[in-house]
Structure 1
Amino acid sequence: MVATTEERSEFALGWKVLFASVLGVACGASPIPFNVIGFTVEPLISEFGWTRTQILMPITIFGIIASLLAPFFGSLADKYGVRKVALYSLLAFGISFGMIALTPAAKVASTLYIYYALWVLVGLVGIGSTPVSWSRAINLWFYRHRGLALGILLMGTSLAAIVVPKLAVWGIENYGWRSMFAIIAILPLFIALPLGYFLFREPRTDERPQAITSATGHLTGVTLGSALKDYRFWLIWVSIAIIATAFGGAFINMPAMLSDRGLEAQTAASVMGVLGIGILTGRIITGALLDRFWAGFVAFPLLCLPAISCYILLGGSITFPMAALAGFLLGFAAGAESDLIAYLTGRYFGMAHYGKIYGMLYMPFGFFSALSPILYANVRDTAGSYDPVLSVAVFAFVAGGSLLLLLGRYPDNLPEASVSNKLATEAS
C-alpha cells in the first residue's frame, strides 16, 4: 500500500521548497527595506539636509502601498499559483530596489520626490516576494509540523537582519549610499531568484497533507467574506495593528536611538545583528511551541518581551550589552508575531482562500509597521528624544498580546472550497 503524506515525513517531501522559500523571504521585500533604510539617515542628512521624518518617509510609502496590495497579490497566488507570483515579484523587487541608486545628486526639491517615487515603485511590485506568497506554499506542504516549518520559513527575515545591516554599512562606507542599494539588490536577483526557479513549487494534490483537504481531495477553508464576519479575524487584525505600530518604529529607528545614546554605526549594526538572532530564535521556538500548545498561550508572554526592550532603551547613555539585550528581546517578539500571522490564518480559516485572508491580515502588519517609523521619527524631531513614544510602546505590546487570549479553540471542521476555487487550485 502507498504511504500517505501523514505517514511520510513532511520535511522529507518539502525541504527543497522550504529551503528556497527561506532564501526568498530573506532576499524579498519584507525584510530588506526595513534593514537598510535606518542606515541611510546620516548620509542623507549630510548630503541633502533632510529631516529624519523626510528620510524615513519612503519606508512608510513603501509599506502602505505594499500592505494595501497584499490581498491582491494573495488572491493572485490563490488563483494562478504561488510560484509565478513569488518569482516574478522577486525579480521586480530586485530591479526596482537597485534603481534607488539612480537618485540624482542635485540638492533641489525634486530630488526628494524622485527618491520617493523610486520607493513607490518598490512597493507596487515587491509585495509578492514577502511571506504573503511563500507562506501559502509552506502551509500547503506542512500540517503536523506547520508551526516549525513556518518558523523555519520566516528565519529568512532573521538571516536578513543578521547579514543585511552589516552589508549596508560596508556598502555605504566604501561606495556610498547609492551604490549600497545596487549591492543589496544582488541578493534577490542572483541568490534567491535562481534557487527559487529550480526548487520552489506548490505540492501536487497527492502530496498535500490530508488534514487540509476534504474527502474528495480539495482544499478546505472559509471564504474571505466569511472570515470578515468572524470576530476572531478582527481580534487577530487589531492585535497585529497594535504590535506592528509599537514594533516598526522601534526597529527602524534603532540605529538612530543607539546613536543618540553614544554608540557608533558599526556597534549599532552589531546590535541589529543580535536583533536578527532574536528574530531567528523567536521563529523556531514559537513555531515549535505552536505545534504543541494553543496559540494564545504561546503568543501572550512572547509578545510582552519587547516591553522590556522599550524600557531598556529609555533614558540616557546605554552600554552595548544592554543594547544587545533590548535588540534580542525585540527581535524575539518580532519572530513570534510573524509566525503567528501565517499560522493563525491557516488554522482558523483554512487554505482554500488563504492568500486573500492572509493578505488582509498582513495589511495591518505592513501598514502600521510602515507608519510607525514616521511616528517615532516625528517624536524625535519635535521632542528631541524617543522616550515619549517608547513609554507608550511598553503598554502597547502588552495590550496587543493579550487580545490573542480571546481567540478560543481552533475549528474542528472547515468547508470545502467553492467550485471556482477548486478549478483555480487544480489549474495552478
Structure 2
Amino acid sequence: MSAARPSASSLSVQQVLLCGAMIVTLSMGIRHGFGFWLQPIITERGWTRETFSFAMAVQNLAWGFAGPFAGMLADRFGAWKILIAGGLLYALGLLLMAVSSHPLAFTLSAGVLVGIAQSGSTYAVIYGVLGRTVSDEKRSWAFGVAAAAGSFGQFVMIPVETWLIGRLGWQSALYLLAGSALLILPLALGVRERRAKGGPAGHQSIGHALREAFGYRSFQLLMLGYFVCGFQVVFIGVHLPSYLRDHGLGLGVSTGALMLIGLFNIFGTYAVGMLGQRFPKRYLLSAIYGLRSIAIVAFISLPLTPASVYVFAAVIGFLWLSTVPPTNAVVAQIFGAQHLSMLGGFVFLSHQIGSFLGVWLGGRLYDATGSYDVVWWLAVGLGVMAMLTTLPVRETAIARPMQAQPA
C-alpha cells in the first residue's frame, strides 16, 4: 500500500507542475550560465582560472551538503518555506558575487551562499512536493517535466546572460540576475501544502529512513551513478566555453553549444521520464552513462570544428539531465514519498561531490598541464564505471515489517 499523501487534496498536479517548473527554470537557468563569467572576472580581478573554478566547485559542494537538510526541512515544514528562503539567499549571493574583490569573499558568496541557495530552490525540494501530489504511475513523467523545465531555463537564460554581459558588463548582469531570483518567492506560494495533523498512517522517523536507505545496496549504487553524473555535466558546463576558446572558437560557438545542450536536454529529460513509465529505469540510467562516454570520446578524438561542437552539444544535451527523472523515481519507488526530498538530497549530495571534483580538477589540471585532456578522459572512465554499476539496482519497494493500522 502506498504511503498517504497529506497534501494531495490541497494541490492540483497542474498547479504544482506549473509553479515548480517555473522555479526550476529560474534557479537552474541562472546557474547554467556561470561559465561565461569565468573570463571577464579573472581578467578584471587578475585571478587564475583555478580561483574561479574553486569557487564554482565550492558552490556545488555547498549545494550538495545543504541539500539533505533543505529536503529534511521541506518534508517536515513545507517546501514553500524553503523555496522562499532559497530565493532570498540566491539574490543575496549573486549581489555579493558581483562586488567580491578578494578570492575568499568570492568563494564565500559565489560558492557557499549561492550553493546553499540552490539547495533550497531546485529539484530535490520540488520533487518532494511532486512525489506527494502525483500518482505513482505518473511520477516518472512528472519528474521528467520538472527536469525539462530546468533544461528550458538553460536554453532561455544562456543567450540572455551572454547578452547582458556584453551590453551591461558582468557586474550589472549579476545585479539583474539577483532581481530575477526574487521571482521565486511568489511562485513558492503555488506549491504550498496543507500539512495533515498527526502525520500519515505508517509514519517513518527520519532516523529510521536514513538507516534504511544507507544500508540498502541499490541506494548506494544510485549515489555512485549520480557522483559520475555530477562530475561530467558540471565540468562540461563550466569549462566548455574556455575549452572552445583555447582552440580558437569564439563566444558565439560557446553560446550556441550551451543553448543546444539546454534545448536537447528538454527533449531528453522528458523522453526519459516517459520511458521510465514503460522500461526498467536502471537500464535507462546505464544506457545514459555509457552513451555519454562514447560521445565524449568522439568529441575529443575528432577534429574540433563548429559543426562537431554543435553535434556534441546536441548529443550530450539529450543525455544531460536525463538521469534526474529515473534516479529520483527509483528512490520514490523503493522508499516511498514521505522523505523523498531528504533522500533525494542525499543522492544529490553525491552528485555534487562529483561536481566539485569535475569543476575544480578542470581548473587545477588545466593550470598544471595547460590542457583539459586528463579531465576529459577521467569523465570517460567514470561514465563506463557508472554504466556497469547501475545495472544491479533493484527498483521494487523495500520490504518493511507490517505496521498496525488504525481501526
TM-score (norm 2): 0.89
| Distance across 2 between alignment mates of 1:341 and 1:308 | 21
- The AA in structure 2 aligned to 1:71 is P
2:30 counterpart residue number: 32
8 A contact 2:79–2:191 mirrored in 1: no
Instruction: Give how far 1:413 is off.
Output: 5.6
| Distance across 1 between alignment mates of 2:345 and 2:40 | 35
1:19 counterpart residue number: 18
2:34 counterpart of 1:48: no
8 A contact 1:352–1:416 mirrored in 2: no
1:201 counterpart residue number: 192
| Distance across 2 between alignment mates of 1:178 and 1:200 | 32
Q: How do 1:345-360 residues align onto structure 2 when only pairs under 5 Å count?
A: 345-360=331-346
Deviates more, 1:408-417 or 1:230-239: 408-417
8 A contact 2:20–2:191 mirrored in 1: yes
Distance change in 2, residues 1:417/1:81 (3 Å): farther
The CA deviation string for residues 121-155 of structure 1, in whole angstroms up to 9 with x for no partner, is 22234311121211100111112111110010112
The CA deviation string for residues 311-364 of structure 1, in whole angstroms up to 9 with x for no partner, is 233158522221112112222222211223321211111122222211111101
1:426 counterpart residue number: none
Q: Please point out which of 361, 366, 376 is paired with 2:347.
A: 361
Q: Please point out which of 173, 178, 181 is paired with 1:188.
A: 181
- The AA in structure 2 aligned to 1:32 is I
Instruction: Give how far 1:227 is off.
Output: 0.9
- The AA in structure 2 aligned to 1:256 is S
8 A contact 1:287–1:339 mirrored in 2: yes
8 A contact 1:308–1:329 mirrored in 2: no
| Distance across 1 between alignment mates of 2:368 and 2:242 | 15
- The AA in structure 1 aligned to 2:76 is K
| Distance across 1 between alignment mates of 2:402 and 2:341 | 16
Instruction: Give how far 1:255 is off.
Output: 0.8
8 A contact 1:99–1:181 mirrored in 2: no
Distance change in 2, residues 1:37/1:405 (3 Å): same
Identity %: 22
| Distance across 1 between alignment mates of 2:313 and 2:401 | 42
| Distance across 2 between alignment mates of 1:367 and 1:392 | 15
Instruction: Give how far 1:416 is off.
Output: 8.1
- The AA in structure 2 aligned to 1:391 is W
- The AA in structure 2 aligned to 1:187 is S
4+ runs of 1 displaced by more than 4 Å?
A: 216-222, 412-419
Q: How do 1:51-90 residues align onto structure 2 when only pairs under 5 Å count?
A: 51-90=48-87
Q: How do 1:101-120 residues align onto structure 2 when only pairs under 5 Å count?
A: 101-104=98-101, 111-119=102-110, 120=112
Instruction: Give how far 1:218 is off.
Output: 6.3
8 A contact 1:140–1:203 mirrored in 2: no
| Distance across 1 between alignment mates of 2:299 and 2:18 | 35
Instruction: Give how far 1:84 is off.
Output: 1.1
| Distance across 2 between alignment mates of 1:357 and 1:178 | 37
Q: Tell me, what secondary structure is at the counterpart of 1:139?
A: helix
| Distance across 1 between alignment mates of 2:404 and 2:55 | 40
| Distance across 1 between alignment mates of 2:59 and 2:395 | 36
8 A contact 2:238–2:359 mirrored in 1: yes
8 A contact 1:141–1:203 mirrored in 2: no
Distance change in 2, residues 1:312/1:45 (3 Å): farther
Q: How do 1:146-185 residues align onto structure 2 when only pairs under 5 Å count?
A: 146-185=139-178
| Distance across 2 between alignment mates of 1:255 and 1:173 | 15
| Distance across 1 between alignment mates of 2:377 and 2:52 | 24
Q: Tell me, what secondary structure is at the counterpart of 2:137?
A: coil
Q: Tell me, what secondary structure is at the counterpart of 2:320?
A: helix
The CA deviation string for residues 79-108 of structure 1, in whole angstroms up to 9 with x for no partner, is 11112112221232123223322234xxxx
Q: Tell me, what secondary structure is at the counterpart of 1:314?
A: helix
| Distance across 2 between alignment mates of 1:185 and 1:201 | 23
1:405 counterpart residue number: 391
Deviates more, 1:36-45 or 1:167-176: 36-45
Count how many residue pairs are aligned between Structure 1 and Structure 2.
395
| Distance across 2 between alignment mates of 1:417 and 1:196 | 35
Distance change in 2, residues 1:145/1:184 (3 Å): same
Distance change in 2, residues 1:54/1:220 (3 Å): closer
Instruction: Give how far 1:412 is off.
Output: 6.7
| Distance across 2 between alignment mates of 1:19 and 1:367 | 30
2:220 counterpart residue number: 234
What stretches of structure 2 of length at least 5 have no aligned partner?
A: none
2:317 counterpart of 1:331: yes
2:279 counterpart of 1:293: yes
- The AA in structure 2 aligned to 1:22 is A
| Distance across 2 between alignment mates of 1:354 and 1:18 | 17
Instruction: Give how far 1:236 is off.
Output: 0.9
Distance change in 2, residues 1:405/1:49 (3 Å): same
1:145 counterpart residue number: 138
- The AA in structure 1 aligned to 2:160 is L
| Distance across 1 between alignment mates of 2:95 and 2:338 | 36
| Distance across 2 between alignment mates of 1:321 and 1:194 | 42
